[in-house]
Structure 1
Amino acid sequence: MYKSLKPLANAYAHITGYRQHGLRYDDLIIEEREDVQKALTRLPQRESYDRVFRMKQAFQQSVLHRELPKDQWLKPEDDTRYLAPIIEQVAKEDSERAEWDSLVVEKKK
């Protein structure tokens, strides 16, 4: 199943054009969610800097209505998920915290 869907996924990623602007898939995640904001604070300093650089570069290319030169496009093997695992960890921690906060203590008789 993976082998049959992978070419379709790569074609879709190419059509969306975010790699032509130098962005990674996780750069497209909406930042207004609380769990994403927490995850962004947990990014290593270098990864956070690289994210901001990619966003500024993509914004500049968008304003100029151009793509990056073809040699600067993001390659599919470099398009790794760097933020999603942290978001999942934050969501897991939040759900665990909610479970502990809603715990009802009953007194033994």
Structure 2
Amino acid sequence: MAGVSSRSLAYRIQRFAYYRSYFPSLGLWRDDLRRDTPVLKEALSRLPRTDVEGRNFRIARAVVLHNAKMMLPRDQWTELDDDKLYIGEIIEQIKKEIKEKEDHAKSK
């Protein structure tokens, strides 16, 4: 993880919390867990197709595993250091665009 030393207490707490959660054992990334909103749908439409397909695969696999009351083998879990936050910047950009449109509409 950028900016956090792997020896720091903050990193150790973050790592503990990450692996205590359920989603790494299903092969999900943190951004796969975002609530489905119109902003998320717009962000997904701006992502490359391969990223959207990867997200859909991870979610579908997680649903199957959860329903079967199974987990992935430990070597296939998502790792904290490899977990990508791939959609947050796009969502922030979309929120700014929406705010600008609202501000522009108010000024008219």
TM-score interval, smaller chain:
0.7 to 0.9
Give the superposition deviation at 1:55. 0.3
Question: Tell me, what secondary structure is at the counterpart of 2:107?
Answer: coil
1:27 to 28, 32, 50: 32
Give 2:90's aligned residue.
Answer: 86
| 2:107 equivalent to 1:103 | yes
Show the counterpart of 1:46: 50
Partner residue, 2:68: 64
Partners of 1:75 and 1:13 lie apart in 2 by 9
How far did residue 80 of structure 1 move?
Answer: 1.3
State the alpha-carbon separation in 1 of the partners of residues 86 and 105 from structure 2.
Answer: 30
Equivalent residue in structure 2 for 1:8, among 8, 13, 17: 13
Shift of 1:75: 1.4
Give the gaps of 5 or more residues in structure 2.
none
SS of residue paired to 1:77: coil
What is the number of equivalent residue pairs in this alignment?
102
Which string of whole-angstrom CA distances, capped at 9 and with x for unpartnered residues, describes residues 65-93 of structure 1?
11101111111121010011111110011
Question: Deviation of residue 40 (structure 1)?
Answer: 1.4
The structural deviation recorded for 1:42 is 1.0
How far did 1:5 drift?
1.7
Shift of 1:4: 2.7
Dislocated runs of 4+, deviation >2 Å: none
Cα distance in 2, alignment partners of residues 7 and 89 from structure 1: 31
TM-score, with structure 1 as normaliser: 0.87
Gaps of 5+ in 1: 105-109
CA RMSD of aligned residues (A): 1.2
